[in-house]
Amino acid sequence: MENSLGFAHFLSQTDTLGHIVLLLLLGLSVASWYLIATKSLENYLAGRRAEAFLKQFWAADSLQDVSSALRQQPVDNAFARLAHEALEAANNHRDGMQKLAAAGGLGEFLTRLLRNGIDQEASRVEQGLTVMASAGSTAPYIGLFGTVWGIYHALVNIGLSGQGTLDKVSGPVGEALIMTAVGLAVAIPAVLAYNAFTRRNRVWLARLDAFAHDLYTVITVGEKANSSAGEASPLHAAHKPEQRASAKG
């Protein structure tokens, strides 16, 4: 009997509710790991593309060069999308193609457009985090529920059999604790990934907000105060060393 105890024996002895609990934990685990893998790859590619675009942007001789380059290459990151929309709006505004959204002048229009672009990116990068947060917060309790139900089920069977010795009780009760272990195995990676993605998104959106400020300055004033890429630019060649250091910081 002792050699037959284990996870397989627990599955064969548990009822439908126990199977449902286990399937629920399995579904949360699969969803969490899928999001961890896909969002990690997505964030890595987005970071590389953003770095390449920022170097190209600040190395350009004029906004016209940037606008032409954006028309000839895919807009595949948040920084490029923000620059593309802002430059197109500025060009349309200068050409007299004003709409109701452009009421209040170019400065107000760009402010609304850039803020809307940042909000859209914030919504995009937060997709899937709710699932990971839910898995991390509920999986331990789901596993604990499965353990409690498994212990109850085992004790009922032992009581019906009339064999209430320690060796007959410890095996089924120990098997029921597997559900708690499964719940923790689902929750721990989800919580760690959620914290890592939340921090990455906070840093990413802060960089995007800084770039939006620089982009607004370049378009409306014709020069930038600080490069969010941390490099000097032909658009403003008179950068001081202390200004460049503050931009990197």
Minimum mean pLDDT among 21-35, 113-127, 235-249: which range? 235-249
Between 95 and 170, the more confident residue is 170
**pLDDT above 90 for 156:** no
3-state secondary structure at position 70: helix
E-strand ranges in 122-214 read: none
Distances, alpha carbon 141 to alpha carbons 23, 73, 145, 174, in Å: 14, 49, 6, 18
**Structure-block tokens of residue 138:** 């509920």
Q: Would you place residue 166 in the very low, low, confident or very high pLDDT band (cuts 50, 70, 90)?
A: low
pLDDT digits (tens, 9 = 90+) for 82-127: 998 888 888 776 655 555 455 556 778 888 889 999 999 999 999 9
pLDDT of residue 133: 95
Sign of the C-alpha dihedral computed for residues 42, 48, 51 and 52 taken in this order? negative
Residue 112 and residue 107: Cα distance in Å, rounded?
Answer: 9
Which structural domain range is residue 173 located in?
2-248
Tell me how many degrees the CA angle 111-117-120 measures, rounded to the nearest 5. Answer: 140
As a whole number of angstroms, the distance between CA 216 and CA 239 comes to 18
Assess contact for 244 and 229: CB atoms under 8 A: no
Of 33, 14, 197, the residue nearest 122 (C-alpha) = 197
- Cα–chain-centroid distance for residue 102? 32
CA distance 52 to 80: 10
Among 4-13, 106-115, 172-181, where is mean pLDDT lowest?
4-13
CA distances from 124 to 27, 40, 77, 133 (A): 23, 14, 12, 16
Reported as a single tens digit per residue, the pLDDT across 203-235 is 999 999 999 998 988 888 764 333 344 443 444
pLDDT at position 65 is 84
Provide the whole-model pTM: 0.75
Total number of domains constituting the chain: 1
pLDDT at 90: 80
Report the interhelical angle of 78-94 vs 63-72 (nearest 10°).
120
